[in-house]
């Protein structure tokens, strides 16, 4: 679609959406009244900046159904995200929402080269988390043979992958790495597997990690992005060129805003990613602030798609650590480790405070295939990593090398930071 036609479509949908939420969601009517905006003030997509933002706390405050825009009898499914503090956030889908969702995920999978010839092993968790069921419906729409194994039980994952001849694996990148490392432990080699494509997401991962997974598995690895508040997996994903993720902007309108001022930022400038759901019926959201950090690019992609692309997400404004005043994202550590290529990519960061000073320790696992014999060599390697980290991020980090598999694996989203300062 040309950019002009897309804008016309978005404008039409935004006008309908604003009318819909103003009439049906007391929360939005109140927020809009407070801002002095009426549905009749919205004439095109450019007027989106007149609308109020929505934050995760708004979903929590209106738990469980307060932001739903239709009666519960029209809601055919709910999902919920646990969150680390208190109440979960709940989202609801109408039949039409589920239909749109499966179409959008089908688009993502097709973009990654998945077809009805494929056998797709879905190792995202099934249940209240949107990953399993979200990808599942899309994969069925494409016509794949779906293996709905859900997360966990690594031995069984590998056994079925081998027995069933799975050609596509869908899970978090950290679990894909864990599965790759577990191959030999359970007596498999790559020759036992037919995997061609990975559809990985639900957590931040670097471009280096994408390449690492491609190498370890001998596959094409694609990035799928989404969040339950907006829909679930499928809000955006990358094509074969991996130059950003194509946003399905006929359904989800993206903006980038400044993390502090919340002012809109121009294309190419990094800030917080905000989405407005243009077609959702169950729980439509205006300008939902994801806190994910990205930039937008509206140039046509080498693949020919005209949809706006968002830069791969490597962090959230709220998982940024501030260590002795220096801003640090865990993905920067991952980048350095994979760039060096001398350890595994399994790591954990420990932040603490000693004598009122922040301290940072990195535990990183040794690579099984690169045996180190002497203590001296181990010391040299940890110093080398400390040095590389210091020049990349400007912080001194104590590096401790640990044995392979010493760091706890996650079957869903990886936990990479333990911040003891908060205790
Ligand atoms: O993680 C939905 C999903 C499932 C996406 C399966 C992809 C695959 P939530 O649990 O609500 O939903 O978490 C959403 O996870 O705001 C990001 O911070 C992070 N996230 C999701 N996908 C990616 C990705 C699902 N591809 C939150 N890259 C989002 C980086 C991601 N971060």
Reading the chain (423 residues) residue by residue, the pLDDT tens digits are 999 999 999 999 999 999 999 999 999 999 999 999 999 999 999 999 999 999 999 999 999 999 999 999 999 999 998 765 567 899 999 999 999 999 999 999 999 999 999 999 999 999 999 999 999 999 999 999 999 999 999 999 999 999 999 999 999 999 999 999 999 999 999 999 999 999 999 999 999 999 999 999 999 999 999 999 999 999 999 999 999 999 999 999 999 999 999 999 999 999 999 999 999 999 999 999 999 999 999 999 999 999 999 999 978 888 888 888 888 999 999 999 999 999 999 999 999 998 888 999 999 999 988 888 899 999 999 999 999 999 999 889 999 999 999 999 988 899 899 999 866
Q: How far is the CA of 292 from the centre of ligand 1 (A)?
A: 9
Residue 335 token pair = 């980048």
Contact 282, 94 (CB under 8 A): yes
Residue 162 in contact with ligand 1 by CB distance below 6 A: no
Find out whether the beta carbon of 203 lies less than 6 Å from any atom of ligand 1. yes
- How many Å lie between the centroid of ligand 1 and the Cα of residue 152? 18
Nearest to 217 by CA among 232, 204, 238, 200: 200
Residue-range domains of the chain with CATH:
95-318 (3.40.50.12780), 320-422 (3.30.300.30)
Whole-structure pTM value: 0.93
**173 CA → ligand 1 middle, Å:** 11
Q: What angle do CA 45, 81, 129 make, to 5 degrees?
A: 100
For 310-334, give one letter per residue: b (16+ CB within 10 A) or e.
bbbbbbebebebebeeeebbbbbbb
**pLDDT on residue 317:** 87
Q: pLDDT (tens digit, 9 = 90+) per residue, 171-226?
A: 999 999 999 999 999 999 999 999 999 999 999 999 999 999 999 999 999 999 99
What is the DSSP secondary structure assignment for residue 268, as one 8-state letter?
A: T
- Ligand 1 and 228: CB distance under 6 A: yes
The predicted structure's pLDDT at residue 318: 83
Distance in Å, CA 224 to ligand 1 centroid: 8
Establish whether residue 274 lines the binding site of ligand 1, counting it when its CB lies within 6 angstroms of any ligand atom. no
Give the neighbor-by-neighbor strand order of the sheet with 357-366: 398-402, 357-366, 343-354, 417-419
Task: Please work out whether the CB of residue 224 comes within 6 Å of at least one atom of ligand 1.
Answer: yes
What is the rounded CA–CA span in Å between residue 337 and residue 333?
A: 6
Helices (H), 186-275: 207-217
Residue in 174, 274, 158 with CA at minimum distance from that of residue 221: 174
Residue of 91, 225, 235, 412 best suited for mutating to test ligand 1, as the one with most atoms within 8 Å of CB: 225
Residue 173 · residue 238 · CB < 8 Å = no
Pocket lining: 316 vs ligand 1, CB cutoff 6 Å: yes
- Using a 6 Å cutoff on CB, does residue 198 contact ligand 1? no
CA of 377 to the centre of ligand 1 (A): 39
Tens digit of each residue's pLDDT (9 = 90 or more) over 246-273: 999 999 999 999 999 999 999 999 999 9
Whether ligand 1 lies within 6 angstroms of the CB of 400 is answered as no
Ligand 1 pocket mutation pick from 202, 237, 248, 293 by most atoms within 8 angstroms of CB: 202
> Distance, CA 233 to ligand 1 centroid (Å)?
7
């Amino acid at each position: 679609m040309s950019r002009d036609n897309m804008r016309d479509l978005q404008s039409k949908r935004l006008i309908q959406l604003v009318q819909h939420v103003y009439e049906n969601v007391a929360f939005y009517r109140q927020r809009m009244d407070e801002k002095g905006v009426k549905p009749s003030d919205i004439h095109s997509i450019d007027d989106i900046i007149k609308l109020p933002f929505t934050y995760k706390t708004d979903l929590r405050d209106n738990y469980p159904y307060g932001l739903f825009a239709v009666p519960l009898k029209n809601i055919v499914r709910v999902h919920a995200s646990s969150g680390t503090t208190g109440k979960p956030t709940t989202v609801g889908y109408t039949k039409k929402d589920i239909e749109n969702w499966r179409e959008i995920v089908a688009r993502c999978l097709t973009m990654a080269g998945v077809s009805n010839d494929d056998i797709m092993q879905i190792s995202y968790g099934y249940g209240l988390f949107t990953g399993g069921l979200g990808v599942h419906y899309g994969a069925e729409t494409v016509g794949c043979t779906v293996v709905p194994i859900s997360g966990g039980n690594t031995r069984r994952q590998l056994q079925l992958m081998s027995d069933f001849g799975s050609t596509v694996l869908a899970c978090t990148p950290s679990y894909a790495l864990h599965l790759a490392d577990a191959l030999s432990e359970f007596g498999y080699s790559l020759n036992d597997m037919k995997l061609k494509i990975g559809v990985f997401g639900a957590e931040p991962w670097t471009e280096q990690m994408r390449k690492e997974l491609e190498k370890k598995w001998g596959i094409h690895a694609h990035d799928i992005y989404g969040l339950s508040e907006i829909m679930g997996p499928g809000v955006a994903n990358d094509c074969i060129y991996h130059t950003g993720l194509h946003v399905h902007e006929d359904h989800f309108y993206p903006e980038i805003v400044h993390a502090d001022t919340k002012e809109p930022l121009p294309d190419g400038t990094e800030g917080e990613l905000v989405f407005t759901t243009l077609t959702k019926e169950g729980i439509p959201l205006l300008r939902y602030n994801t806190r994910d950090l990205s930039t937008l690019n509206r140039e046509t992609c080498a693949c020919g798609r005209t949809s706006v692309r968002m830069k791969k997400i490597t962090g959230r404004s709220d998982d940024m650590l501030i260590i002795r005043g220096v801003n640090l994202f865990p993905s920067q550590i991952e980048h350095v480790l994979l760039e060096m290529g001398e350890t595994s990519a399994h790591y954990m960061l420990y932040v603490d405070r000693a004598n009122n000073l922040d301290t940072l320790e990195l535990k990183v696992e040794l690579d099984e295939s690169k045996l180190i014999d002497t203590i001296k060599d181990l010391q040299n390697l940890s110093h080398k990593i400390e040095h590389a980290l210091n020049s990349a991020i400007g912080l001194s980090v104590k590096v401790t090398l640990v044995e392979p598999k010493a760091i706890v694996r996650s079957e869903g989203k990886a936990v990479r930071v333990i911040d003891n300062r908060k205790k």
